[in-house]
Structure 1
Amino acid sequence: MAKKSFGQHFLLDLNITRKIARLAQVGEGDHVIEVGPGPGGLTRALLETGARVTAIEKDPRFLPLLEELALAADGALTIRVEDALGADEAALAGGAPAHVVSNLPYNVGTALLIKWLTGTFTPASMTLMFQKEVAERIIARPGDDAYGRLAVLAQTTANAALVMDVGPRAFTPPPKVSSAVVHLTPRADRPAPERLAALQTVTAAAFGQRRKMLRSSLKVLGGEALCAKVGIAPEARAETISVEGFLALADAWRA
């Protein structure tokens, strides 16, 4: 039974889980980290590709099912019982490239994505199920209603595409909203950690008061003078500024 407090909605339809595994483009010998496997629907599809899977599950109720799956997987499945927000994925990957493929628990999906986009562990790729509304926020463009801090952070660090829509009836229990799968691969020009830290500060201020002009929302960081440094109109609002514009603001503030 799914726990509401964990944001659990299980994906058991093999046609859908196999399609997600194909979209993840993982195969023989690849290392996959999966968060929130629950009863192991997606885990089975990933193991079918020949990938090695490390499954991070917070809910101990699923251990018997997952351990049974691990026995049948002949060493290809490792289970970790911990909270993924505190997991050290780089250590789990052993310094080698690892792909993250997950039907993420709804209540921590965004926090986990930001961790993987901006933290010390950079996945080789991410194929992640979110609520449709969150997926749209990841791929949104300037001027879109969904465009915000998440879009800027995602698109600065990765190439992101919505690759699959999934209706509520595919899940047990069915959520009240539609879902979607987003595939992300790291950008070759991914900013260094100190640039990313500055970008997080600037976007938090700008989108924290998104209806205000940048001269007001960025006042504590330099406001009008900061905008002038990079040639951005101080009366512009956050949702109209491109990813490149925010990086320029972050660099100017850091300087």
Structure 2
Amino acid sequence: MSLVITSSTINCRSFSLSRPFPSWINGDNSPSLLGEIPAAFSRRSSAIFLTRVSCAKNPDDYHSTLKSLNSRGRFPRKSLGQHYMLNSDINDQLVSVADVKEGDFVLEIGPGTGSLTNVLLNLGATVLAIEKDPHMVDLVRERFAGCDKFKVLQEDFVKSHIRSHMLSVFENRGDQDFALAKVVSNLPFNISTDVVKLLLPMGDIFSQVVLLLQDEAALRLVEPALRTSEYRPINILVNFYSEPEYNFRVPRENFFPQPKVDAAVVTFKLKHPKDYPDVSSTKSFFSLVNSAFNGKRKMLRKSLQHLSSSPEIEKALGVVGLPVTSRPEELTMEDFVKLHSVIANE
């Protein structure tokens, strides 16, 4: 079986929320944030419910998500990149792309109200969630209390020692007859690049990373064109450590608050370390790549002068079949691997 980590938790007991809803949720015409919510959602039934069962049953909808936020008096925080999913069908599609099955172990980043977590638990996955917002941590802990397949840690993911957390999970499971874990997350938009950089080199722990990102960011990561300004070092990193795939677009109307751009689901099928491109040192390889792009408008024989002299760089380019006037945006990941090999052996 495989391991899946999510960002939401499951509450196994029925409950009611004591705080009254503000008028904008109850549906009257007083000034509110409702204008930010898609009209298609605002026309839905005003019946609002959220139940906790064993471990998860009812899917989260527009009303239950807003009710969860209101129960804590919380509104999405721009500083945390919080945009909450209002369409449970999107969560179903996200989990389907990840092929989550019973017995999987999933890591979720930023579970929010636990709507995606709920879907993961319903499928029989065990979920480890990492959440920075203490109010959301309390919410999902309460919601999924009593469910032994869920755990949430209050941490900033980009500062979290996720490898240590995962190794502890592996050790505590006892049996070794299971597949690698998965990452499935409706990711806070403002940390997407940092998350990708942290997770993709973990092919010894995760089999795949399935993320909901800003659509523009997703396209830049998966489908960058050579000789364009969108081609950057992270594209080399993505293809070095994974096989990326753009799955489907998610219109901005599915979120609260509504972002200024659409989102998209992307799958990164991680390579196992034994299958990484053959370089003598990943550290020196990416040092070369970053140095090359630091002088993006410069030819490589200029931007890499701190590694070798210009004549030596020109010679190395010739050895790998590239023009001596090559610039970084003209090289594929394979080209950089070959160039690094020649320079490292000089």
Could you state the TM-score of these two structures normalised by the residue count of structure 1? 0.91
Specify the SS of the correspondent of 2:144.
Answer: helix
Query: CA separation of 1:192/1:58 partners in 2, compared to 1, >3 Å: closer, same or farther?
Result: farther
Query: CA separation of 1:86/1:179 partners in 2, compared to 1, >3 Å: closer, same or farther?
Result: same
Query: CA separation of 1:129/1:194 partners in 2, compared to 1, >3 Å: closer, same or farther?
Result: farther
Query: CA separation of 1:253/1:40 partners in 2, compared to 1, >3 Å: closer, same or farther?
Result: farther
What is residue 158 of structure 1 aligned with on the other side?
A: 242
Specify the SS of the correspondent of 1:26.
Answer: coil
Give ranges in structure 1 of 5+ residues lacking alignment: none
In 2, are the aligned partners of 1:130 and 1:179 still within 8 Å (CA)?
yes
Question: Does structure 1 residue 103 correspond to structure 2 residue 186?
Answer: yes
Q: What does the per-residue CA deviation read over 1:119-175, in whole Å, with 9 as the maximum and x for residues that have no partner?
A: 586421100111112111211245263322111111111111000111111111111
What is residue 184 of structure 1 aligned with on the other side?
A: 268
In 1, are the aligned partners of 2:94 and 2:210 still within 8 Å (CA)?
yes
Q: Distance in 1 between matches of 2:117 and 2:280?
A: 35
What is residue 65 of structure 2 aligned with on the other side?
A: none
In 2, are the aligned partners of 1:58 and 1:84 still within 8 Å (CA)?
yes
Specify the SS of the correspondent of 2:148.
Answer: coil
Q: Distance in 2 between matches of 1:136 and 1:246?
A: 22
Specify the SS of the correspondent of 1:202.
Answer: helix
Q: What does the per-residue CA deviation read over 1:193-221, in whole Å, with 9 as the maximum and x for residues that have no partner?
A: 96322232122112222222221222222
Code of the residue aligned with 1:248 in structure 2: it is K
In 1, are the aligned partners of 2:181 and 2:206 still within 8 Å (CA)?
yes
Specify the SS of the correspondent of 1:101.
Answer: strand
Q: Distance in 2 between matches of 1:197 and 1:2?
A: 38
In 1, are the aligned partners of 2:279 and 2:337 still within 8 Å (CA)?
no
Specify the SS of the correspondent of 1:177.
Answer: coil
In 1, are the aligned partners of 2:292 and 2:304 still within 8 Å (CA)?
yes
Q: Percent identity?
A: 32
Code of the residue aligned with 1:210 in structure 2: it is K
Larger Cα-atom Rg: 2
Q: How many residues in Structure 1 have an aligned counterpart in Structure 2?
A: 254
Question: Does structure 1 residue 213 correspond to structure 2 residue 299?
Answer: yes
For residues 174-253 of structure 1, the aligned pairs below 5 Å read: 174-188=258-272, 189-191=275-277, 195-222=281-308, 223-253=313-343
Code of the residue aligned with 1:150 in structure 2: it is I
Relative to structure 2, which stretch is displaced further, 186-195 or 230-239? 186-195
Q: Distance in 1 between matches of 2:183 and 2:219?
A: 19
Code of the residue aligned with 1:172 in structure 2: it is F
What is residue 13 of structure 1 aligned with on the other side?
A: 87
Q: Distance in 2 between matches of 1:39 and 1:126?
A: 21
What is residue 133 of structure 1 aligned with on the other side?
A: 216
Specify the SS of the correspondent of 1:32.
Answer: strand
In 1, are the aligned partners of 2:110 and 2:129 still within 8 Å (CA)?
yes
What is residue 117 of structure 1 aligned with on the other side?
A: 200
Query: CA separation of 1:112/1:121 partners in 2, compared to 1, >3 Å: closer, same or farther?
Result: farther
Once the two structures are TM-superposed, the CA of residue 88 in structure 1 deviates from its matched residue by 2.5
Give the structure, 1 or 2, with the largest relative contact order (CA under 8 Å, sep 6 or more).
Answer: 2
What is residue 160 of structure 2 aligned with on the other side?
A: 87
In 2, are the aligned partners of 1:195 and 1:250 still within 8 Å (CA)?
no
In 1, are the aligned partners of 2:203 and 2:271 still within 8 Å (CA)?
no
Could you state the TM-score of these two structures normalised by the residue count of structure 2? 0.68
CA RMSD across the alignment: 2.1
Query: CA separation of 1:177/1:100 partners in 2, compared to 1, >3 Å: closer, same or farther?
Result: same
Specify the SS of the correspondent of 1:124.
Answer: strand
Q: Distance in 1 between matches of 2:83 and 2:186?
A: 8
Give ranges in structure 2 of 5+ residues lacking alignment: 1-74, 171-177
